[in-house]
Amino acid sequence: MQAIEAVLVTRDSEAGRGGPVAITDPFAPLADLGYAICHVPLTRTAAPSDPGPLDDAVRHLSEFSWIAFTSARAVQGFANAVAGSGTFGSAGTRASVRFACVGPATARACESVLGRSADLVARSANAAGLARELRELLAGQAGSRVLFPASPDARPDLPRTLEEAGIRVTQVEAYRVEPAPPEPDRLLPPGGADHWAAIVLTSGSIARILLESLAAIFPDRRQLETFMDRSRPAVLGPTATEALAAWGLRPWLQASTPSLEVLVREMTDRLEQDRGEPEPRRSGDR
């Protein structure tokens, strides 16, 4: 019997303490190619360790000209804070504060969860690109303030770029991402296959958790390296690439732009191409 071709998705599908954000399944193109999509989250989304700063920012929302969102989870965390407060529901606040989103998926979350379309969606779907576009929009506007709800592990690109331009940024914890390693056997492909068709890694922390969990299955480092090499690790950005490098591994693909939609599209193209080529023989194969 032929082994099932399956893609391992390791990202957390939740988006904060209020539950998942309803957005289009980003992995549908891979399923349409006939791959089984196996969701095995290695992290979970948790409420802020201290919700006080976010709640305080929500009470003073009218003091901000923009809210910058770099993930759908940040949108959900913000939505949880404003729920029931009545602050965001006031016509004046809704009209005065504008939304800046890192990419289309985050913009869809804004519309779905907050009932507001994004006023700015970054052309380059990353925090640095969003910061540059906000900086251009706010040039010459003295006293502009930006609220940045994020995780405590958020990269500093956005606040650093804006603050260097004299724009005040208030960064508050909207959610936390906690490790949630599964039983190691869940990380093995179904149907007796000896490798995955591809593994999706969206952060450095997820890549580290995966490798530490697989080390319990493959105590021989060479076996682990062979398994990962054949399983085509596809990464969203440089943090996952760096985590792989710490184990002597390289990604099969890194998205040209750190957007999940771009990653899936480029994975789909590469997998279609690879299906037509024989798998290369590796040193150690017999």
Contact 195, 225 (CB under 8 A): no
Q: What's the helix, strand, coil split of the chain in %, to 5?
A: 40, 15, 45
Look at the pTM and tell me if it is higher than 0.95.
no
Report DSSP state, residue 3.
P
Is the per-residue pLDDT at 22 higher than 60? no
The answer to whether residue 135 sits within a structural domain is: yes
pLDDT in tens, 122-158: 988 788 899 999 999 999 887 899 999 999 988 899 9
195 CB-near residues (< 8 Å, 6+ apart): 189, 227, 230, 231
- Does 34 share its domain with 68? no
Listed range (4-8, 12-16, 117-121) with the worst mean pLDDT = 12-16
Q: Would you state the pLDDT for residue 14?
A: 44
Which of the listed residues 120, 144, 174 is the one where a domain comes to its end? Answer: 174
Listed range (71-85, 97-111, 265-279) with the worst mean pLDDT = 265-279
Q: Would you state the pLDDT for residue 278?
A: 54
- Bridge partners of 132? none
The answer to whether residue 285 sits within a structural domain is: no
Q: Would you state the pLDDT for residue 95?
A: 57
Q: Strands 253-254, 233-235: parallel, antiparallel or unpaired by DSSP? A: parallel
Tokens of 105: 């998926």
Number of domains, the chain: 2
Is the per-residue pLDDT at 92 higher than 50? no
List the domain range (segments joined by +) for residue 255. 6-45+179-275
- Does 57 share its domain with 95? yes
Is the per-residue pLDDT at 213 higher than 60? yes
Residue 53, burial from CB neighbour count under 10 angstroms (0-12, 13-18, 19+) = middle
pLDDT in tens, 151-197: 998 889 999 999 999 999 999 999 999 999 999 899 999 988 999 99
The answer to whether residue 34 sits within a structural domain is: yes
Q: Would you state the pLDDT for residue 231?
A: 98
